[in-house]
Amino acid sequence: MLLLAITGQATYAFPTLLLNAFLPQRSFDDLPAHSGTEYQSMLTPLQCLALYSVFLASHILLFIPSMIILFRVQASVYPASEESIIPYERNGPLSVVQAWKTYTWEGKMRLVRLYAKILPMVWVISLATGTLIFFEMRWVLGSKSPIMESILKVWLQNQTGRAQ
């Protein structure tokens, strides 16, 4: 359980550290960023992709293996009379290292293939949702509202390096 808790927290800590590197901390009382300052208030698409990639990599490489280890250790404690959905070797209670060794390479590759199939769908849905929210905000607030103008100004500033 400790391994699962640590890797679960690390899965969210790594992207947070990267986000803090991308966006210097400012207080809410600070004036908005102007052209030529070191502050940036929105992420570029490449930075968003980097954050998502770090989260996904730490999730696949840290959290899921620790979850599988926990499930295998817990399943090894079941009595022999219990049937399991997933077959495993019943050699008695497993340690964390034994549980990792019994997780075969084929099982790991199946998991990676599953994520490779799901990832494009998640990206498309995220892009569609973000676009929908943007256009809904524009529809509700109007194209000339101060909020929309500031969002577009900061976005353009981040894309080109200067305010438009």
DSSP string, 82-124: S--SS----SSS--HHHHHHHS-HHHHHHHHHHHHHHHHHHHH
Q: Are 56 and 1 in contact (CB under 8 A)?
A: no
pLDDT at 158: 65
Per-residue pLDDT reduced to its tens digit, 68-118: 888 878 877 777 777 766 666 666 677 777 777 777 788 778 888 888 898
The C-alpha atoms of residue 37 and residue 144 are separated, in whole angstroms, by 26
**Mind listing the pLDDT tens digit for each residue in 144-161?**
778 777 777 777 766 665
d(CA 164, CA 160): 9
Q: At what angle do helices 64-76 and 2-22 cross, to 10 degrees?
A: 170
Give the pLDDT confidence score for residue 79 in this predicted structure.
76
Angle at 60 between CA 62 and CA 111, to 5 degrees: 130
End-to-end C-alpha distance for the chain, whole angstroms: 52
- Output the CA angle 130-131-134, nearest 5 degrees: 85
The predicted structure's pLDDT at residue 129: 92
Q: Give the pLDDT band (50/70/90) at residue 125.
A: very high
- Is there a contact between 23 and 41 (Cβ–Cβ < 8 Å)? yes
The type of residue at 36 is G
Distance of alpha carbon 161 from alpha carbon 155, whole angstroms: 10
